[in-house]
């Protein structure tokens, strides 16, 4: 038997590849291609950040226009994808509908080379994500307005309203923060598929499968359901006490990497407070979030993560909860494609080993004797 190297379950703390795309740190830092997330969020637009993540450098004006134009030209989705979603029916989870459409895109798309295939997936994911809840329920699909830009067009489809400038700016910041986060579960899944040299459609479909789980992408939906359940800031302490006594996981708290604080969550916390202030709304939702954050930090030492503050932002914007994870997917697609490209550039099939702990030397017993 070949020699094996035992590693922690979940590969925690194990480096399995080199990457120059992004890096998070336990101390509460996150960089995209060397740029701190706070700097990116304060100054860059979505397409500019996507170009950076995909190509490794900030674009000049000509490069940005070409990149944005390539996305705009590929935004509209084939009617057959919507028909496929519709046939799944109301029982379909939005991510399942989205994943099915992306998988089918491989057979429908006319794009030939990998770069064009990736651009098609990146452009259409936001449109399919905005429709993956309504179309299976029999509602007509919504058309994008690519002239608005990636984030604004997506927000318009999600809310079907004309939103204010600050709301659009905040939504774009949240998309930027969801775009990439080094070797998370879905990005690693994408790299595993890419290592087989499967096409980008297969890799994106696999990424969507990993994102569906409540320990990854589904956490933002669970976080909002928690906030709606508790409602009153004064009930936060009692909720946490009961949840911890019953051994329940409180969604939106804790992170595999961040031990002190999630820099994305802290930025979104400020955005939420300002959004409510500008709307002249009661700030009880913000105070509820802050109280829950205080309780979890004091009792468990767990920081709020991005999902915890992204969820109330989406809710304040009027976006239906079942679309929170598809929004995550629409943005993270750009990170997935960056990992796809990095993997195939110096490819080695990802094929780890497992330590066998089952029985040996078993003897077959005929069916009639069992």
Residues 187 and 246 in one domain: no
Choice among 109, 167, 262, 307 that is catalytic: 307
Residue 97 is assigned to a structural domain of this protein: yes
Global confidence as pTM: 0.94
pLDDT at 2: 56
Residue 6 is assigned to a structural domain of this protein: no
Q: Please list the pLDDT of the chain residue by residue as tens digits (370 residues).
A: 457 888 888 888 889 999 999 999 988 999 999 999 999 999 999 999 999 999 999 999 999 999 999 999 999 999 999 999 999 999 999 999 999 999 999 999 999 999 999 999 999 999 999 999 999 999 999 999 999 999 999 999 999 876 789 999 999 999 999 999 999 999 999 999 999 999 999 999 999 999 998 888 888 999 999 999 999 999 999 999 999 999 999 999 988 888 889 999 999 999 999 999 998 888 999 999 999 999 999 999 999 999 999 999 999 999 999 999 999 999 999 999 999 999 999 999 999 999 999 999 999 999 999 9
Number of domains, the chain: 2
Domain with 295, as residue range(s), is 219-316
Catalytic status, residue 133: no
pLDDT at 1: 46
Residues 288 and 194 in one domain: no
Residue 353 is assigned to a structural domain of this protein: no
Residue 115 is assigned to a structural domain of this protein: yes
Catalytic status, residue 307: yes
SS (H, E, C) the chain: CCCCCCCCHHHCCCCCCCCCCEEEECCCEEEECCEEHHHHHHHCCHHHHHHHHHHCCCCCHHHHHHHHHHHHHCCCCCHHHHHHHHHHCCCCCHHHHHHHHHHHHHHHCCCCCHHHHHHHHHHHHHHHHHHCCCHHHCCCCCCCCHHHCHHHHHHHHHHCCCCCHHHHHHHHHHHHHHCCCCCCHHHHHHHHHHHCCCCHHHHHHHHHHHHCCCCCCCHHHHHHHHHHHHCCHHHHHHHHHHHHHCCCCCCCECCCCCCCCCHHHHHHHHHHHHHHHHCCCCCHHHHHHHHHHHHHHHHHCCCECHHHHHHHHHHHCCCCHHHHHHHHHHHHHHHHHHHHHHHHHCCCCCCCCCCCCCCCCCCCCCHHHC
Residues 90 and 154 in one domain: yes
pLDDT at 294: 96
Q: Which of 277, 295, 316 is the last residue of a domain?
A: 316
Residues 32 and 94 in one domain: yes
Q: Residue 34 is part of a domain; what is its CATH number?
A: 1.10.580.10
pLDDT at 162: 67
Residue 351 is assigned to a structural domain of this protein: no
Residues 104 and 122 in one domain: yes
Residues 60 and 149 in one domain: yes
Residues 283 and 334 in one domain: no
Residues 202 and 340 in one domain: yes
Residues 153 and 263 in one domain: no
Q: Residue 248 is part of a domain; what is its CATH number?
A: 1.10.230.10
Residues 67 and 209 in one domain: yes
Choice among 255, 262, 283, 339 that is catalytic: 255
Residues 262 and 327 in one domain: no
Residue 369 is assigned to a structural domain of this protein: no
Residue 354 is assigned to a structural domain of this protein: no
Residues 230 and 180 in one domain: no
Residue 234 is assigned to a structural domain of this protein: yes
């Amino acid at each position: 038997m070949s020699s094996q190297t035992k590693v922690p379950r979940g590969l925690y703390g194990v480096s399995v590849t080199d990457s120059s795309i992004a890096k998070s740190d336990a101390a509460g830092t996150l960089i995209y291609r060397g740029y701190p997330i706070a700097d990116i969020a304060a100054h860059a637009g979505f397409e500019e950040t996507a170009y950076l993540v995909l190509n490794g450098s900030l674009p000049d004006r000509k490069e940005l226009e070409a990149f944005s134009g390539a996305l705009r030209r590929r935004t509209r989705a084939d009617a057959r994808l919507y028909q496929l979603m519709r046939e799944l029916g109301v029982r379909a989870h939005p991510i399942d509908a989205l994943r099915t459409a992306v998988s089918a895109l491989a057979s429908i798309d006319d794009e030939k080379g990998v770069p064009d295939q990736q651009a098609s997936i990146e452009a259409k994911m936001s449109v399919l994500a905005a429709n993956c809840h309504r179309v299976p329920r029999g509602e007509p699909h919504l058309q994008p307005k690519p002239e608005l830009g990636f984030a604004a067009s997506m927000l318009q489809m999600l809310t079907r309203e004309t939103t204010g400038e600050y709301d659009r700016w905040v939504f774009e910041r949240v998309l930027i923060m969801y775009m990439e986060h080094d070797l998370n579960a879905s990005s690693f899944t994408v790299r595993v598929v890419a290592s087989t040299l499967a096409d980008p459609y297969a890799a994106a479909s696999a990424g969507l499968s990993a994102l569906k789980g409540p320990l990854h992408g589904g956490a933002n939906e669970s976080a909002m359901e928690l906030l709606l359940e508790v409602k009153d800031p004064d009930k936060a302490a009692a909720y946490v006490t009961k949840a911890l006594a019953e051994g329940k996981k409180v969604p939106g708290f804790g992170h595999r990497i961040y031990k002190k604080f999630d820099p994305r969550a802290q930025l979104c916390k400020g955005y939420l407070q300002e959004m409510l202030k500008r709307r002249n709304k009661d700030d009880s939702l913000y105070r509820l979030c802050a109280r829950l954050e205080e309780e979890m930090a004091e009792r468990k030492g767990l920081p709020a993560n991005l999902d915890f503050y992204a969820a109330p932002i989406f809710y304040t914007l009027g976006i239906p909860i079942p679309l929170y994870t598809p929004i995550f997917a629409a943005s993270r697609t750009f990170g997935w494609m960056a990992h796809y490209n990095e993997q195939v550039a110096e490819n080695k099939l990802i094929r780890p080993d497992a330590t066998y702990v089952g029985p040996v030397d078993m003897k077959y017993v005929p069916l009639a004797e069992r």
